[in-house]
Structure 1
């Protein structure tokens, strides 16, 4: 019997999911909800973090793309609605190795408004189908007082970075606590830097990290506000 795993995640949340490698294509479905009060043009971007020998994968976001295509076109998602248009396909090609593939969904007009899922394909898990749910549009949505959210990451440079990366940010008034968390492709936290003041800059000593792709998230009052990608040389 197939097992279904449903996860409700806020913007920028990264989760690892595993399911079995059996002959034939395996599907991973991600349901994407627009929680804002305006229509969003959402893009899906696939990143092949690590691939087992002989494996092949591709994805659909409204339409299906050949394996060499990693960035989709836009899909309009109306306010308060959920798009079921994503399917990720994976075939182990007879191999028994482990693969990880990331899918990030972001607003074409505001790319930092993103949510990502990391899917881990491993022979050990009994599952053969996975469902996850992510939210986009939190950065253009309303807070609990009906005000437009102002917390945001303004810039990061350099990116890719080798020694240090500098992040500039802006916080809305009344933010009690804020920090930026850096996670690796498995969703493990590898660095945390506190934010002080309504605007400012923080420096990440990325020389402490291994080369590769990371995700850094702004967390304000316990809520993940935005997530972006950082490449370490």
Structure 2
């Protein structure tokens, strides 16, 4: 701010002066009391000239020019969009494209550095800076919750962090070993057991992130329950379905994940 404009503009008659500021694009200039307040717009840098005009009660005026230079400052990266909760079974791995959730107005995501700190080393973290892919897995037989902090750092040292809760589920059911690795295609497996009473498990695979809806329908085509309705990361998933509130009979379960759709049958016997 430029203060004491009354000392810079002197009226020989001692009249009270009124001031007006005129600025160009990228800079806002206003008069507050006897001060010129200059505020650059977000992400603006460069040189501008501001005109200040002083006017006395008779309408006589005088002007002066102020040169203003705004120095560029790198904005920090932003990773607020990174998922705050990640869940996967112990016998699988999850791959996240970190670049999909990071942004920096001053540089491409590939130039950002990332740090993945965890409260438990049983959460394995493998990041490939050439591709932006983060792989998460469980060490040994560990299952439980782990707090992970994701930090993005730009070349100027500016940073942004996001806290993530990672939940690793214990495997209790079918195909504990054979279904390891990152899926290569969308699949919906047959529920197990089938027929069931009253609980069965449904597994599906996502080769990439997608908005997933997994629903159950009765024989009339009426939706009876939605088991999943959210965006999920690539990986292998298992959902338990409790049919204790339903009558015996034939049911259908359907998955919609991006352009992938599939329907399967299951039988509830009470």
Instruction: Bin the TM-score by the shorter chain.
Output: 0.3 to 0.5
TM-score of the two chains, using structure 2 as the length reference = 0.30
TM-score of the two chains, using structure 1 as the length reference = 0.33
